[in-house]
Homo-oligomer: A and B are copies of this chain.
Amino acid sequence: MGLHEECGVFGIYDFDKSNVVPYVVFGLVALQHRGQESCGIAASRNLEVQYHKDLGLVADVFTPTQAKTLDGHMAIGHVRYSTTGSSVRENAQPLVMNYKKGTLSIAHNGNLSNADELRAYFQDKGAVFQTTTDSEIIAYSIARERLNCSSVEEAVCRALPFLQGSYSLLVMSPRKLIAARDPHGFRSLCIGKLDNSYVFASESCALDAVGADFVRDILPGEVVTVTDDGITTVKQFAAEPAKCIFEYIYFARPDSVIDGVSVLKAREIAGKLLAQQHPVDADLVIGVPESGIDAAVGFSKESGIPYGRGFIKNSYVGRTFIKPVQSDRDIGVMLKINPLKENVTGKRIVMIDDSIVRGTTCAKIVKALKSAGAKEVHMRVASPKFLWPCYFGTDIPNRDNLAAVNYETTEEIRDMIGADSLGYLSLDSLHELIGSDEYCNGCFSGTYPVEVNR
C-alpha cells in the first residue's frame, strides 16, 4: 500500500476486420488496477486512426456512447497512473502521431531510465516535445530509424537498443500492430488469441476478461508484429532477464500468470516462506486486502494456523473526501478497510501485508485491529525492506519517507507501527517466489540489472 504501478496496455488485431474497440474497453477495465488516473484508446481502420483519451476510469471515459465513436479492426489502449499536475490530461496515452509514413500510435508501460538523455539528444536536433511521456521519445526514436529502413517493424527493432530501462510497448502503424518488451523483461506482456484476432495485454487476466486464450508471454527483447499476413517475431535481442519481482508481490492481479508463474502461487509461496522465516504462535492469519490475502493463505497452510478474513474492504471509496476538520480521529483508513471484529476479537493475529512503505498506514491498521479486540498483532511482510528507488516504473516515495530508511532496526519499525512482532521476507529467498533468479530486486537491494543514473 502506498506504491503505484504506472500503466497497463492492451491491444488487438482482428483479421476478420470487425470492430475491436469493445474488447479493448473490456481489456482495459481488467487492467484498471494498474492505473486509474487516465485512459485512452486509439483505433485504426482503413489507414485512419481515431482516438479518445481523458482523465478518469475506463468505465467513465468509455461510456457506450463514447466507445461507439471509435471503430477499428485494430486498436491499442492504455491505463495510466500519474502524479497530479496541470499537464495530466495531455500525458494520457496512447500517443497518436503523424510521422513520415503516416500515423504512429504508442502505448507504453514502463520507464526509460535514459529518457532525459534521449530527449536532450532529439532536442539538440531540433525536436519539440509536447508531453513528458516516454512514448514521445519512443516515437521520435522510431521515426528517426524509419528514415533509413524499409519497414516500421525494422524501425522499431533499430530504435529499441537506444532505449534503456523498462518498456512493454504496443505500437500501431497504418497497417501493423507491433508489441515489444525490453530485453530485461521488467514489465509483463503476453499474447492471446480470440477467434480470428490476436490480443496483447500487460497481464493474462485481461485475456480472460475478453474470453481470449493465453498463447504465450512475449519474451524479453522480443518484437512481435501482426499484419494482414499473420503474426511474426521479427527480432529478439538478448539480455539477462530481470522481471520486476514487485509485480508478483503487489501490482499484478492474482489471477494473472506472468512468465509462466502464477501470481497467486508466488504470493502463497511468500506466505509459506514467512511462516518458515518468522514463525509465531497465534490463533488466526489474516491478510491486508487485496495483495496480502494470498500470502496469508500460504502462511496459514504452512503454519497450520487457521486463515480468516480480517477486514472488509470498501471498494466505493473515492480518491478524495472532505475531512472532518475538528477531529484528530483517523477515520480515513477505517473507511477503506474495516476490521472484522467477529473474527479478530480476543485472538492473537498474524497479519500479512505485501510491503511497508512509509509505515503510517500499517500503524493505523494495527491500531484498528487492537481497537477491534485483537489480543496480539504479529505483522509479517511479504517482501524485504524497501530501501531504494525504482528506475523502472514503480512510483516509490522519496527515500526520506521510507520506514526502512528512517528506522535503523526492525525493532524500531515494529515499535512505530505498534505490532507485537514484525518479520520481513528475506532478500535471499525472493527467488523462490518465481522459481528462478531472473528478477530485479533493486528496490530492496539497491543492486540494479542495468546501470542507473542515481
CB A427 to nearest CB in B, in angstroms, measures: 25
**A69, A96, A126, most chain B CB atoms within 10 A:** A126
C-alpha spacing A311/B320, complex, angstroms:
29
| Contact, CB under 8 Å: A26 / B335 | yes
B331 x A209 contact (CB < 8 A): yes
Q: Let me know if A231 is at the binding interface, CB within 8 A.
A: no
Q: How far is the CA of A327 from the CA of B210 in the complex (A)?
A: 11
Q: Is A374 an interface residue (CB 8 A)?
A: no
Q: Is A143 among interface residues, defined by CB-CB distance under 8 A?
A: yes
On whether the beta carbons of A326 and B129 are closer than 8 Å, the reply is no
Check if A211 sits within 8 Å of B255, measured CB to CB.
no
CB of B322 within 8 A of CB of A68, answer yes
Give the chain B neighbours of A119 by CB distance below 8 A: 98
Contact status B129-A99, CB under 8 Å: yes
A281 sits at the interface (CB 8 A): no
How far, in angstroms, from A338 to B96 measured CA to CA in the complex?
A: 32
Proximity string of chain A (223-258) to chain B, C-beta cutoff 8 Å, 1 when within and 0 when not: 000000000000000000000000000000111010
- Whether a CB of chain B sits under 8 angstroms from the CB of A152 is no
User: Is A130's beta carbon under 8 Å from chain B?
Assistant: yes
Q: A129-B98, A338-B255 are in contact. Are A325 and B58 (CB under 8 A)?
A: no
Contact, CB under 8 Å: A316 / B33: yes
Asked if A349 is at the interface (CB within 8 A of a chain B CB), the reply is no
Rounded to whole angstroms, the CA-CA distance of A103 and B86 in the bound complex is 15
CA distance A221 to B104 in the complex (A): 36
**CB pair A340 B126 closer than 8 Å:** no
Question: What are the residues of chain B within 8 A of A435 when measuring CB–CB?
Answer: none
- Beyond A208-B338, A253-B312, A264-B343, whether A124 also contacts B100 by CB under 8 A is yes
Main secondary structure of the interface of A (DSSP, over half): mixed
With beta carbons under 8 angstroms apart, the residue of B64, B255, B293, B319 that contacts A339 is B255
A410 at the interface (CB under 8 A from B): no
Determine if B322 and A51 form an interchain contact, defined as CB atoms under 8 angstroms apart.
no
Name A1-49 residues within 8 Å CB distance of B: 18-19, 21-23, 25-26, 29-30, 32-33, 36
Residue of A32, A64, A255 with most chain B CB atoms under a 10 A cut-off: A255
> Can you list, as one digit per residue, whether each of A280-296 has a CB less than 8 Å from chain B (1) or not (0)?
00000000000001100
Q: Name the B residues within 8 Å of A25 (CB-CB).
A: 321-322
A97 near B343 (CB under 8 angstroms)? no
Interfacial chain B residues near A322, Cβ < 8 Å? 21-22, 25, 62, 64, 67-68
How far apart are the CA atoms of A29 and B30 in the complex, in Å?
24
A334, B22: Cβ atoms closer than 8 Å: no
Contacts of A205 in B (CB 8 A): 312, 338
Contact with B along A340-362 (1 / 0, CB 8 A): 11110000000000000000000
Q: Is the CB of B320 within 8 A of A95?
A: no
A449 sits at the interface (CB 8 A): no
Inter-chain CA distance A321–B312, complex, in Å, is 27
A309 interface hit (Cβ, 8 Å): yes
Whether A32 contacts B314 by the Cβ 8 Å rule is yes
On whether A318 and B59 interact (CB within 8 A), knowing A98-B123, A312-B255, the answer reads: yes
Given the complex of chains A and B, what is the CA–CA distance between A311 and B314 in angstroms? 18
Q: In the assembled complex, which residues on chain B have CB atoms less than 8 Å from the CB atom of A36?
A: 316
A sample of 13 cross-chain residue pairs with beta-carbon separation below 8 angstroms, ordered by A number, consists of A18-B326, A25-B322, A29-B314, A59-B316, A60-B318, A63-B320, A97-B128, A127-B140, A209-B338, A211-B329, A254-B312, A254-B340, A254-B342
Which A residues lie at the B interface, using CB under 8 A?
A: 18-19, 21-23, 25-26, 29-30, 32-33, 36, 50-52, 57-60, 62-64, 67-70, 86-87, 95-100, 104, 119-120, 123-130, 132, 136, 139-140, 143-144, 146-147, 195, 205, 208-211, 253-255, 257, 262, 264-265, 293-294, 297, 307-309, 311-312, 314-327, 329-331, 334-335, 338-343
Sorted nearest first, the 5 A-B pairs with minimum C-beta distance are: A59-B318, A315-B315, A67-B322, A32-B316, A126-B144
Besides the contacts A22-B324, A58-B316, what 8 more A-B pairs have beta carbons closer than 8 Å? A25-B321, A30-B335, A57-B318, A67-B321, A69-B86, A98-B119, A127-B127, A297-B308
